[in-house]
Amino acid sequence: SAVISQKPSRDICQRGTSLTIQCQVDSQVTMMFWYRQQPGQSLTLIATANQGSEATYESGFVIDKFPISRPNLTFSTLTVSNMSPEDSSIYLCSVEGPGRNTEAFFGQGTRLTVV
């Protein structure tokens, strides 16, 4: 299994500002995943972050709004830029075990409220 430390755990931000969420894994992983969970909804994949290359974004998500960094095999950040109240969600980072077809592990999540 993997242990993932995600911070901050929660934040309240003013609209128009940006927040950077950090995700640290206790082992080296090839891919890290960022999800958004809007209130009362399921999880939606934002992007996949690979070390040494640009993140791959899902339909409906763009780099200008959700820039991602992946400087090494154990760390990634997601920035939520120019926030509006519609960005209020739980953001989660995730990794999978070694090899293909393995279970996913999640950080504690960041509960973001934009006012």
Partner 1 sequence: GIQVEQSPPDLILQEGANSTLRCNFSDSVNNLQWFHQNPWGQLINLFYIPSGTKQNGRLSATTVATERYSLLYISSSQTTDSGVYFCAGGDYNTDKLIFGTGTRLQVFP
Instruction: Name the token pair of 10.
Output: 């929660």
Q: Is 92 in the site for partner 1 (CB under 8 A)?
A: yes
Q: Select the residue interacting with partner 1 from 14, 60, 86, 101 (CB under 8 A).
A: 101
Q: Is 13 in the site for partner 1 (CB under 8 A)?
A: no
Q: Select the residue interacting with partner 1 from 13, 67, 109, 113 (CB under 8 A).
A: 109
Pairing of strands 43-50, 110-114: unpaired
Which of 25, 43, 16 is CA-nearest to residue 98? Answer: 25
Q: Least distance in Å: CB of 14 to partner 1?
A: 22
In the bound state with partner 1, the residue whose beta carbon lies nearer, of 58 and 71, is 58
| Residue range at the interface with partner 1 (CB under 8 A); choices 13-21, 22-30, 75-83, 101-109 | 101-109
Q: What is the distance of C-alpha 114 from the center of its chain?
A: 17
Query: Secondary structure of 48-90 in the HEC alphabet?
Result: EEECCCCCEECCCCCCCCCCEEEEECCEEEEEECCCCHHHCEE
Which residues of this protein are in contact with partner 1, per CB under 8 A? 1, 9, 33, 37, 42-45, 48, 90, 92, 94, 100-109, 111
